[in-house]
A = this chain, B = another copy of it.
Amino acid sequence: MADETPRETTAAEVDDLLARAAAASRPWADRGAGARVVSLRAVADVLDGAADTLVPLAMEEAHLGSARLVGELGRTTFQLRLFAELLEEGSYLRATIDHPDPDWPPAPRPDLRRMLIPLGPVVVFAASNFPFAFSVAGGDTAAALAAGCPVVLKAHPGHLRLSALTGSLVDRALASTGAPEGTFAVIYGDAAGRSAVTSEHVKAGAFTGSLKGGRALFDLAASRPTPIPFYAEMGSLNPVFVTGEALAQRGGQILADFATSFTLSAGQFCTKPGLLFVPSDAVTDAELTEAMAPHRSGSPLLNERIHRGYVETLGALRGHGAVRTVVGDDDAYAAAPTPTVMATTVPELLAAHHDLLVECFGPTALVVEYADEGELLEAAEAFGGEITAVVHGEETDTIVPRLVALLSERAGRVVWNGWPTGVSVTEAMHHGGPYPATTAPLHTSVGTASIDRFLRPVCYQSMPGHLLPPALRDDNPLGVPRRVNGQPEEA
């Protein structure tokens, strides 16, 4: 399997796989959370066990380093196991019970019990930049399977053989734990992906990638005769704002960490800090050059398409009259491009807004000088939807509260004195943000809350106990946390 590049899935094959996914919907949901826990852990175990085959193949196809990929595979199987824990805990169901109340205004309240149920088959589009954690068995797949939804995974062309191998391992683990046939499938080719988004069998879509690709699929999903939710996590500029005080206290460390963060995995993260705002004349070219010294070697990018996009966008930025290149080799456009640091000022940035506030996916960042706090705030207001925004400041900085407030209106995650790369998979994580960071500002694609995307509420009115799902029965046989009559239920 690992030796052969899979061919594109034909239209007839896609139809067949989607029909099987639809047929698997009820049995996969009906097996219950307990059975899904076993299946998710089995997938994690099988992937961990195959690390020696998976990691070298990912290195070959995605041009990423071994340590990074070993860590990413660890994150992937951790995610699967974290969703298993979430299912065991049960609060994700949002089980809510209102007992009958004859005095409820304006009319007596019947017995009402609500919980979340799976939406149905989900099509997941794998990302280029996370061949494990946002690919075949990545976060979206784990969340959808955990929710009780079958998954049809559209493989990313950047790592097709890895996708096929991972897919076969997932299939094997699911089958060995009794998951219904059709619960999971991998499809190949853009036409197959579009066909899945428009299929009546598919009830939701998830995507990680470019603004252009994500928006096109979102439009397809929204314009169906029966529209479906389409959760696209797309581009982000991830601006970083450094106060004068922070720079005075620890400027060298900030620049060194900035250089590490934006060059990590050749700058190919959704959360790469793309802009660094610093006070005018506070950072010299020599300091930037020194900070970049450990990161000057080139790395091949994930794939040819990303490389072409990088060269084109970087060229436009460097060629822009408002931009000056501070660090940038002749190799900046080579097959293994070396990192580039550019510089501009806030007035120039704002004047050339549409040209300069663009994501350049790869090892480059723009340092932007602000003359005063007014310019700093004006710059912060120029951002629309960001996955992250960062403030480096001191607690005594008087500008910081206003800056943090402005940024929380514009970003999904606001980071204090840290760096946005290195997204922790937890309950409180939010990896999303207003458009264009995502098409769905209410939702995250990282962390356990990402399961919400694939569940919808159903309410049962006056239903006898034996007809209710176990989570809503009086005796609460699953021990699920619930709210009863507006209060958390006593255990």
Q: Which one, A316-324, A365-373, A406-414, is touching chain B? A: A406-414
A222 to B105, CA, bound (A): 37
Contact status A466-B395, CB under 8 Å: yes
A237-B71 Cα distance, complex, nearest whole Å: 52
**Nearest-neighbor residue (CB-CB) of A453 within chain B:** B442
Contacting residues, chain B, for A104 (C-beta < 8 A):
424, 426
Of A3-11, A293-301, A481-489, the segment with at least 4 beta carbons within 8 Å of chain B is A481-489
Q: In the complex where A109-B426, A219-B222, A434-B456 touch, is A229 in contact with B442 (Cβ < 8 A)?
A: yes
A455 to B203, CA, bound (A): 23
Contact of A302 with B by CB under 8 A: no
Counting chain B CB atoms within 10 Å of each CB, which of A104, A105, A401, A481 scores highest?
A105
- CB neighbours (8 Å) of A218 from chain B are 222, 227
A110 at interface (Cβ–Cβ under 8 A)? yes
Asked whether A435 is an interface residue with its Cβ less than 8 Å from the other chain, the reply is yes
User: In the complex, are the beta carbons of A384 and B226 less than 8 A apart?
Assistant: yes
Chain A stretch 422-461: residues in CB contact (< 8 A) with chain B: 422, 424, 426-430, 432, 434-436, 439-442, 444, 449, 452-453, 455-461
Is A217 positioned at the interface, with any CB of B under 8 Å from its CB? no
The answer to whether A105 touches B439, judged by C-beta atoms less than 8 angstroms apart, is no
Shortest C-beta distance, A246 to chain B (Å), equals 13
A428 touching B97, Cβ below 8 Å: yes
For the complex, give the distance between the alpha carbons of A112 and B408 in Å: 14
CB-nearest residue of chain B to A85: B486
Query: Among the listed B26, B105, B440, B453, which residue makes an inter-chain contact with A75, where contact means beta carbons less than 8 Å apart?
Result: B105
> Nearest-CB distance from A421 to chain B (Å)?
11
User: Contact at A462–B229, with CB atoms within 8 Å?
Assistant: no
Q: Which one, B105, B385, B434, B455, contacts A74 given CB within 8 A? A: B105
Q: How far is the CA of A436 from the CA of B226 in the complex (A)?
A: 7
Contacts of A422 on B, CB cut-off 8 Å?
A: 107
Closest chain B CB from A254 CB (angstroms):
15
Residue of B nearest to A404 (CB): B467
Question: Which segment of A13-21, A113-121, A168-176, A189-197 sits at the interface?
Answer: A113-121
Interchain CA distance A466-B404 in the complex, whole Å: 11
Which positions 212-237 of chain A face chain B at CB distance < 8 Å? Answer: 218-219, 222-223, 226-229
Q: Which residue of B lies closest to A81 (CB)?
A: B105
Query: Are B412 and A457 within 8 A (Cβ)?
Result: yes
CA distance A414 to B113 in the complex (A): 10
Q: Are A457 and B435 interface neighbours, CB within 8 A?
A: no
Q: Does A478 contact B (CB under 8 A)?
A: no
Mark A468-491 against chain B: 1 for CB-CB distance below 8 A, else 0.
Answer: 000000000000010100101000
A488 contact set on B, CB distance < 8 A? 481, 488
Q: Give A440 to B226 CA distance when docked, in angstroms.
A: 11
How far is A482 from B22 in the complex, measured between Cα atoms in Å? 37
Does any Cβ of B come within 8 Å of A98's Cβ?
yes
Contact of A229 among B78, B107, B441, B457 (CB under 8 A): B441
Per the 8 Å Cβ criterion, residues 388-418 of A in contact with B are 395, 400-401, 404-405, 408-409, 411-418
Chain B residue contacts of A385, Cβ below 8 A: 226
- Chain B residues, CB < 8 A from A439: 227
Question: CB distance B416 to A464 under 8 Å?
Answer: yes
Q: Given A222-B222, A222-B227, A426-B112, are A408 and B486 also a contact pair (CB < 8 Å)?
A: no
A-B contact pairs, 22 of them (CB 8 A): A75-B105, A98-B428, A104-B424, A107-B424, A110-B424, A112-B429, A114-B430, A114-B449, A119-B441, A218-B227, A226-B385, A229-B442, A395-B466, A404-B463, A413-B460, A416-B460, A416-B461, A416-B463, A429-B459, A430-B457, A434-B456, A442-B453
* 10 other A-B residue contacts (CB within 8 Å) besides A89-B486, A427-B486: A78-B105, A96-B428, A112-B426, A113-B428, A218-B222, A219-B223, A229-B440, A416-B461, A442-B457, A444-B457
